[in-house]
């Protein structure tokens, strides 16, 4: 008879300690990853499958149902790609690159594209695609339309549609009488570009003038010394001339609006002036006229606005191929254009002076309501033009009126007296060399106006070169918002302004500057001309 087994006594821990230990083990093995708590904060981790803890053959805290895999959320897009480690994903999120550089994309040929996606193309596209040798993008996700132009001959933009089976349309960046500029993705180079689509025009030679100018500047611009926007490609798409440019930043008009029309510092205005003069110098050497230089056509190259480039040569021409129509923008047009005289590269120096005055003060210097009023604004600041300028113009009699002895009537009629608004009052307590520079740019006689070569040797420009090491970090972001004094405007009080008070102050400043232009008592029957000097 076998001996009975001896029972060994193993002391057990208290019940509360044992339960707490079990809970701790369960927490360690079944802890939820941090991305399941908040998928918007951290990307999901690659967690290996863990066997559930068992005790006496029974599962502890058995989950009721399997948890679904959460998608990876980044930059507004949802992806189900396998994530990496937490450190890798965090670093990728900071750098803005969520994956390695994609492999070089290969284009499709026409036969392969039609075989795979022909049923998803329109009948017009199935015939149109035969004229292309490389297919980079088809725009299959776009809402296809049958009509591509509106009543005015402008191309109708469709988001995520293709342009020339290569560019993907993202959004409209700007539009005007010439056409529109679209932000696109070049699927051949995987770069963002700006594509300018011109209106359908009967005269193709006029449209190709801009391409000729850009090609001439591209040959000259080997090291980005011309400070002009670079053309990447040009082609005809659905009877529209399309020009692809490098994608730049905001224009100077948008920058001034963001700063509530407060002018820039003297150092930054000088830096922009030097870049503009480099572009005007290149145009002058090639005998090219831009003819539409204004803040909207001057773009920053980066978000810090450290430098600028000149864009939009749609109104440009060569000196021997002048256009005798309405060119340029009224507020930046030279006097010889207003007087219907022959013009040259000197009109760009006039526009250049108007742009600098606007950058310094924050507001346009000459704001006429029409061509007559524009000439009156110029004479009010600079005085009467010489006889050499006026005798060559057949339109001068339409601008000129006799003596006005009654100043009250002249005031209510909106007639401006010569030099009643001097340039020194507009620019304020500026550097004397800057005032002399502006006077030589804004000269009524184009023969006496400063050239780009002379402007580069002016004292005001040379002072900036000597102090270039001090101004190398003088970007727009680091400028104080009140960097320029505006004598014509009342200064705000020392206390903080709310949004409504700040808006009211800006309205008062705007009205104070344009009081002589927008006169409600102007008599419409009288000519808006200038008073003859005594």
pLDDT digits (tens, 9 = 90+) for 372-381: 889 999 999 9
N residues, the chain: 534
* Residue 184 structure tokens: 């696109």
pLDDT over 80 at 38, yes or no? no
Q: What is the mean pLDDT of residues 405-411?
A: 56
pLDDT tens for residues 447-459?
999 999 999 999 9
The confidence band for 282, taking pLDDT boundaries of 50, 70 and 90, is very high
pLDDT over 60 at 517, yes or no? no
Instruction: Give the pLDDT confidence score for residue 60 in this predicted structure.
Output: 45
Q: What is the mean pLDDT of residues 147-151?
A: 90
Helix axes 459-466, 432-441, angle to 10 degrees: 130
CA atoms of 281 and 214, how far apart (whole Å) = 15
pLDDT over 80 at 211, yes or no? yes
Instruction: Give the pLDDT confidence score for residue 470 in this predicted structure.
Output: 52
| Fold (topology level) of 122-246 | Phosphorylase Kinase; domain 1 (3.30.200)
pLDDT tens for residues 227-278?
999 999 999 999 999 999 999 999 999 999 999 999 999 999 999 999 999 9
* Residue 163 structure tokens: 């342009």
pTM: 0.69
Instruction: Give the pLDDT confidence score for residue 412 in this predicted structure.
Output: 53
Instruction: Give the pLDDT confidence score for residue 200 in this predicted structure.
Output: 86
pLDDT over 90 at 503, yes or no? no
CA atoms of 20 and 467, how far apart (whole Å) = 72
**Exactly one of 292, 312, 348, 474 is catalytic; which is it?**
292
Note the CATH number of domain 252-513.
1.10.510.10
Residue 292 a catalytic site member: yes
Domain spans, the chain: 122-246, 252-513
The confidence band for 471, taking pLDDT boundaries of 50, 70 and 90, is very low
Instruction: Give the pLDDT confidence score for residue 30 in this predicted structure.
Output: 54
pLDDT over 80 at 358, yes or no? yes
Lookup result for tokens 């000196």: 319
The confidence band for 446, taking pLDDT boundaries of 50, 70 and 90, is very high
Select, from the ranges 151-160, 395-404, 473-482, the one with the highest average predicted confidence (pLDDT): 151-160
Helix axes 266-285, 346-361, angle to 10 degrees: 170
Least confident span in 235-244, 273-282, 355-364, 481-490: 481-490
CA atoms of 225 and 219, how far apart (whole Å) = 11
CB under 8 Å to 312, separation ≥6 — which residues? Answer: 292, 296, 297
pLDDT tens for residues 90-131?
334 333 344 444 566 789 999 999 999 999 999 999 999 999
For the chain, count helices (H), then strands (E).
19, 14
Instruction: Give the pLDDT confidence score for residue 431 in this predicted structure.
Output: 87
Instruction: Give the pLDDT confidence score for residue 95 in this predicted structure.
Output: 34
Q: What is the mean pLDDT of residues 435-451?
A: 95
Instruction: Give the pLDDT confidence score for residue 475 in this predicted structure.
Output: 55
- Long-range contacts, stretch 382-388, CB < 8 angstroms, 24+ apart: 382/419, 382/423, 382/442, 382/443, 382/444, 383/418, 383/419, 383/444, 383/533, 384/418, 384/530, 384/532, 384/533, 385/335, 385/444, 385/445, 386/444, 386/445, 388/445
pLDDT tens for residues 290-337?
999 999 999 999 888 889 999 999 889 999 887 767 788 999 999 999
* Residue 38 structure tokens: 């908040």
The confidence band for 70, taking pLDDT boundaries of 50, 70 and 90, is very low
CA atoms of 163 and 196, how far apart (whole Å) = 11
Distance (Å) of CA 516 to CA 277, 294, 405: 32, 23, 19
Q: What is the mean pLDDT of residues 148-155?
A: 90
Which of the two residues, 417 and 510, has the higher pLDDT score? 417
Instruction: Give the pLDDT confidence score for residue 481 in this predicted structure.
Output: 42
Which of the two residues, 76 and 396, has the higher pLDDT score? 396
Least confident span in 16-20, 194-198, 491-495: 491-495
Tell me the pLDDT of the chain averaged across its residues.
76
* Alpha-carbon dihedral 346, 337, 361, 379, rounded to 10 degrees: 110
pLDDT over 90 at 78, yes or no? no
* Residue 488 structure tokens: 């014509």
CB 423 within 8 A of CB 382: yes
Instruction: Give the pLDDT confidence score for residue 130 in this predicted structure.
Output: 95
């Amino acid at each position: 008879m076998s001996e009975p087994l001896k029972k060994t006594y193993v002391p057990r821990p208290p019940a509360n300690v044992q339960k707490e230990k079990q809970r701790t083990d369960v927490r360690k093995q079944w802890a939820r990853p941090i991305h399941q708590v908040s998928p918007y904060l951290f990307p999901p981790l690659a967690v290996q499958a863990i066997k559930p803890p068992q005790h006496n053959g029974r599962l502890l805290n058995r989950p009721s149902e399997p948890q679904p895999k959460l998608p990876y959320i980044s930059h507004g897009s949802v992806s189900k790609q396998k994530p990496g480690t937490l450190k890798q994903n965090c670093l990728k999120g900071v750098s803005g690159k969520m994956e390695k550089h994609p492999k070089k994309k290969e284009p499709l040929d026409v036969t392969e594209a039609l075989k795979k996606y022909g049923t998803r193309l329109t009948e017009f596209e199935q015939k149109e695609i035969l004229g292309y040798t490389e297919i980079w993008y088809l725009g299959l996700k776009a809402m296809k339309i049958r009509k591509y132009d509106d009543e005015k001959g402008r191309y109708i933009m469709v988001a995520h549609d293709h342009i020339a089976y290569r560019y993907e349309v993202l959004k409209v960046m700007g539009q005007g009488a010439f056409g529109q500029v679209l932000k696109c993705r070049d699927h051949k180079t995987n770069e963002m570009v700006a594509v300018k689509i011109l209106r359908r025009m009967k005269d193709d030679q006029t449209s190709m003038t801009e391409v000729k100018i850009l090609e001439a500047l591209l040959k000259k611009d080997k090291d980005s010394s011309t400070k002009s926007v670079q053309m990447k490609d040009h082609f005809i798409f659905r009877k529209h001339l399309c020009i692809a440019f490098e994608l730049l930043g905001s224009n100077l008009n948008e920058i001034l609006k963001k700063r509530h029309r407060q002018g820039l510092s003297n150092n930054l205005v000088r830096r922009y002036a030097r870049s503009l003069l480099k572009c005007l110098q290149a145009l002058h050497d090639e005998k090219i006229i831009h003819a539409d230089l204004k803040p909207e056509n001057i773009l920053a190259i980066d978000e810090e606005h450290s430098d600028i480039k000149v864009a939009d040569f749609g109104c440009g021409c060569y000196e021997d191929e002048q256009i005798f129509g309405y060119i340029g923008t009224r507020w930046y047009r030279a006097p010889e254009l207003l007087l219907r005289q022959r013009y040259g590269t000197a009109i760009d120096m006039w526009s250049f002076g108007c742009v600098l005055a606007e950058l310094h003060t924050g507001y346009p210097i000459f704001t006429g309501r029409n061509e007559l009023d524009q000439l009156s604004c110029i004479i009010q600041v600079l005085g009467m033009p010489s006889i050499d300028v006026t005798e060559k113009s057949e339109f001068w009699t339409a601008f000129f009126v006799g003596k006005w002895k009654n100043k009250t009537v002249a005031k209510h009629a909106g007639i401006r007296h010569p030099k009643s608004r001097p340039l020194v009052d507009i620019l304020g307590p500026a550097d004397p060399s800057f005032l002399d520079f502006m006077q030589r740019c804004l000269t009524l006689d184009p023969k006496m106006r400063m050239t780009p070569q002379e402007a580069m040797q002016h004292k005001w420009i040379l002072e900036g070169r000597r102090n270039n090491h001090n101004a190398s970090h003088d970007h727009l972001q680091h400028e104080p918002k009140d960097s320029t004094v505006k004598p014509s405007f009342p200064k705000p009080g020392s206390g903080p302004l709310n949004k409504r008070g700040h808006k009211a102050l800006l309205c008062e400043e705007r009205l104070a500057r344009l009081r002589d232009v927008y006169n409600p008592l102007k008599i419409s029957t009288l000519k808006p001309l200038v008073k003859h000097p005594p």
